[in-house]
Amino acid sequence: MDTTGNLILPPSGSTYAPQVDALLTFLTYMSLFFIVVIFGAIIYFVIRYRRRGAEPEYHRAPAHNTALEIVWTIIPLILVLFLFVWGFRVYMRMNVVPKDALEIQVTAQKWFWSFTYPDGATSVNELVVPVGRPIKLLLSSRDVIHSFYVPDFRIKRDTLPNRYGITWFEATQVGEHDLFCAEYCGSKHSAMIGKVRVVSDREYREWLETSATAGEGLPPEEFGERLYTSRGCINCHSLDGTPGNGPSMLGVFGSRVQLTDGTSVIADENYVRESILEPQAKIVAGYQPIMPTYQTILRDEEVNALIAYLKTLSEQTTTGE
């Protein structure tokens, strides 16, 4: 059973993954069976009934055979009905969330994932879950449709802007798994990837605590630098001056910024803060208003840290000149 599994399938990391794999394996062998039967017949006919003489002969051959035709309609019909029931039962298992599940909110937006845990902790592009506990995911999107996909768990669910998607999984081992966005969402669709980190129950609790106090003890610039990548700023704002989906952050702080409404502002602390929490308030000339709001994603200390970090990017340019 596992011979194809090991060769082709990705590692199985959730409780229902083996059930999906059993179906996949069955389907693979069933397909092989049909291919062998049909092409066995075709190859046999090709050899046995190839034209012998210079001219083809016209034999009288059976035009149909009711018994045979009924057989080859009924057998596939039974087979697909069987597959339907089997597939549906596993599907229900994948959809019905166990009662005691731990609920985590998943928010997708161009082009990163953020996760909110029951006690209010958040993380971006990394979902941390305890092993051996059912996790209920409450999925939504802030812009277009995305899709939450972890191949190792055999789980996929679209995130919609106007309603919640609900699904669940239970990880079976400690380890790391890739997380992809599976519904095309534009420019950085293929960069909208993250990780699911499965940890022990104790580690999970520790992680929740440290994430609530993350950055403590770090100088704000350094903390800001980390946030800049982990919170997805880097996806749109380069650090080397090349414009991307948003302006590069090199030398922005303290400079004069031209806005779409014709006015201009100096990029001071308040402006940057507003840009992060209320990005649609002032739009930089030449760019689309696509920056997501970080209102519920970043805590105050984190915004401060980011501002501190952006300052260092302006110091570098002035010293470089």
Residues in Cβ contact with 95 at an 8 Å cutoff, skipping those fewer than 6 apart: 167
Residues of span 208-247 touching ligand HEC by CB under 6 A: 231-233, 235-237, 245-247
Of 91 and 271, CB closest to another protein: 91
Min separation Cβ 197 and another protein, Å: 17
Of 151 and 247, CB closest to ligand HEC: 247
C-alpha torsion 224→227→229→230, nearest 10: 170
Residues in Cβ contact with 284 at an 8 Å cutoff, skipping those fewer than 6 apart: 246, 247, 257, 258, 259, 260
157 burial level (CB within 10 Å; 0-12, 13-18, 19+): buried
Min separation Cβ 267 and ligand HEC, Å: 5
Pairing between strand 112-116 and 256-258? unpaired
Min separation Cβ 197 and Cu ion, Å: 20
Give the three-class secondary structure for 128: strand
111: preceding bond cis by omega (within 30 degrees): yes
Min separation Cβ 280 and Cu ion, Å: 20
Min separation Cβ 183 and ligand HEC, Å: 16
CA nearest to 233, candidates 180, 287, 284, 298: 298
Joined tokens for residue 265: 């502002």
**Contacting residues toward Cu ion, per CB under 5 A:** 146, 181, 185, 192
Q: How many residues are given for the chain?
A: 321
271 burial level (CB within 10 Å; 0-12, 13-18, 19+): middle
Joined tokens for residue 14: 């959730």
Of 181 and 250, CB closest to another protein: 181
Of 73 and 264, CB closest to ligand HEC: 264
Residues of span 51-110 touching ligand HEC by CB under 6 A: 110
Block residue for tokens 């090349």: 242
Of 155 and 305, CB closest to ligand HEC: 305
Select from 92-100, 134-142, 191-199, 267-275 the region that touches ligand HEC (CB under 6 A): 267-275
Name the binder of 236 from Cu ion, ligand HEC, another protein, none, CB < 5-8 A by kind.
Answer: ligand HEC
- 306 touching ligand HEC, by CB under 6 A: yes
Pairing between strand 126-130 and 135-141? unpaired
Name the binder of 80 from Cu ion, another protein, ligand HEC, none, CB < 5-8 A by kind.
Answer: another protein
Q: How far is CA 4 from CA 23, 87, 238, 255, 296, in A?
A: 12, 19, 44, 60, 45
Min separation Cβ 281 and another protein, Å: 17
Of 85 and 256, CB closest to another protein: 85
Name the binder of 308 from Cu ion, another protein, ligand HEC, none, CB < 5-8 A by kind.
Answer: none
Select from 73-81, 91-99, 169-177, 272-280 the region that touches ligand HEC (CB under 6 A): 272-280
Name the binder of 267 from another protein, Cu ion, ligand HEC, none, CB < 5-8 A by kind.
Answer: ligand HEC
Return the exposure string of 111-140: e unless at least 16 CB atoms fall within 10 Å of the residue's CB, then b.
bbbbbbbeeebbbbbbbbbbbeebbbbbbb
Residues found near ligand HEC in the complex (CB under 6 A): 110, 231-233, 235-237, 245-247, 252, 257, 267, 272, 275-276, 279, 283-284, 287-292, 294, 306
